[in-house]
Amino acid sequence: MKHINYRSILIILILSTFHFVSISQPATKIDLIEKIFQDEGEKYFSFFASDRSLIEQLSHGISIDRVENSGKVFAYANKKEFARFLEYGLAYDILPHPGDFHGELKILDQINLRDIEEWDFYPTYDAYVDLMYQFAEQYPSLCQVFSIGQSNQGREILFAKISDNVSLKENEPQFLYTSSIHGDELTGYILTLRLIDYLLSNYGTVPKVTDMVNGIEIWINPLSNPDGTYAGGNSTVDGARRYNALWVDLNRNYPDAEDGPHPDGEDWQTETMRFMELAEDNHFVSGTNFHGGEEVCNYPWDTWSRLAVDDEWWQYVCHEYADTVHLYAPSNYMSDFDDGITNGYAWYTISGGRQDYMNYFHQMREFTLEISDVKLPDPSQLPSFWQYNYRSMLNYIEQSAFGVRGTIKDSVSGWPVKAEVYTILHDLDSSWVYSSLPIGNYHRLLYAGNYTLRFSAPGYETKVVNNVQVVNRQATVLD
């Protein structure tokens, strides 16, 4: 009788078991992801991560939405991102999507601008496009409306440009408001639409509005991710989603000063490229990107732990925004964090955000405005959000005309020059600015103090000006 080697059989069985586990575990993970994402390409979920370094690691793989003091994290993910999240072995809860409205939404399909009183509705996509062009039709000398291109699904990315001489280039700062880069965050969508109407209808009547429209070129884009907002179809915002049509978070899709051109590992999306082209073709001085899910002014940086060199200015203008809100809002509105403001990195870090991109690569002063805890509020609440915020929205537009400003020209020919304006012993991380052609105008927003400015351009002698005095909410003109 042949001797049976039970030890060899046992080893073979163990190795077979290990082999089975190694191929069955990934299959189980794939099945789980397919089950979770069977109905769409984006999920909203929560988990606990009290370790800040862990949250920072996770932020490079998923789209973190907010972090609470308790360590509870709310986030979004597509399939690929959720697979990376599962590698950390954290317990999680899949949550109802914030873009799904439970109840009846007031959606208007036919809108006459002159008949709007309360702005207590959401428009269909077609009504939105029509409404935007109504602004230009009714105020042709003050407003131009145009598309900078189309989304992945062919929806227009529309802008209203407002100025007293709207077809001319003047010695004015360019200001930019955009909203809803996250398609399910829609309070800013309606508030910026209403702001266009407010500026146009009050020009010549309200002195502050008249002065701003006369002295600032104001650009407003109420909806920068139309595919996300109308993911449920053009007739409703119910079913709005954070990501674009290809399930990419557009506010993680920009080049990053620390993490390179593609920090999210995705190609630049159609919407991202249209905004990058817009920034290249213009010279925006300052602006805000409207979000939802919290109530706070989030200022740079998001990607770096170090503070921006203009941190004092950022805290000043953000507190101006929040403090003005507090005069007109309930006591619990925009009152968390540092009384309504926060440094982005101090809250939680992200890479590839629009805010940091505009600040670092285009020397613009843009902050992220989280305007409502609820991302898709009942439209009956929208007039209240307007009352809380519109004065602050006007104040921040006004800030673009302050600081040090002027024109830079060739002293012999008088022709305008594109030059660098560098604040000595102050500037860092691309905080300096440039004059722009064809006017040669520059705008350096600074907190009150005494500064030394250096003006330089290829082919010219550098000029240094000492003792430049800056006063808050005033313009120091230095030609």
Cα angle, residue 122 at apex, residues 116 and 124 outer, rounded to 5°: 105
Q: Do residues 105 and 379 touch, judged by C-beta distance below 8 A?
A: yes
CA distance 435 to 442: 4
Q: Do residues 244 and 227 touch, judged by C-beta distance below 8 A?
A: yes
> Nearest 5°: phi and psi at 103?
140, -165
CA distance 37 to 394: 42
DSSP string spanning 183-225? TT--HHHHHHHHHHHHHHHHTTTSHHHHHHHHH-EEEEES-S-
CA distance 12 to 18: 10
Q: Do residues 369 and 325 touch, judged by C-beta distance below 8 A?
A: no
Rounded CA Rg of the chain: 25
169 sits in which H/E element: none
Q: Do residues 79 and 40 touch, judged by C-beta distance below 8 A?
A: no
Q: What count of other Cβ atoms lies within 10 Å of the Cβ of residue 18?
A: 9
Q: Do residues 219 and 175 touch, judged by C-beta distance below 8 A?
A: yes
How far, CA to CA in Å, does 303 sit from each of 314, 358, 420?
16, 13, 25
Does 40 participate in catalysis according to the annotation? no
| Entry field: residues in the chain | 479
User: Exposed, middle or buried, 154 (CB in 10 Å: 0-12/13-18/19+)?
Assistant: exposed
Q: Which of 34, 370, 398, 461 is an active site residue?
A: 370
DSSP state for residue 127 in the 8-state scheme? H
What pairing do the DSSP bridges indicate for beta strands 341-343 and 72-77?
unpaired
CA distance 75 to 58: 10
CA distance 347 to 143: 38
Which pair of tokens denotes residue 232?
A: 């449920």
Contacts for 62 with CB less than 8 Å, ≥ 6 apart? 75, 76, 77, 81, 82, 84, 85
Q: Do residues 400 and 423 touch, judged by C-beta distance below 8 A?
A: no
Helix (H, G, I), strand (E, B) or coil at 182: coil
The catalytic residues are 370
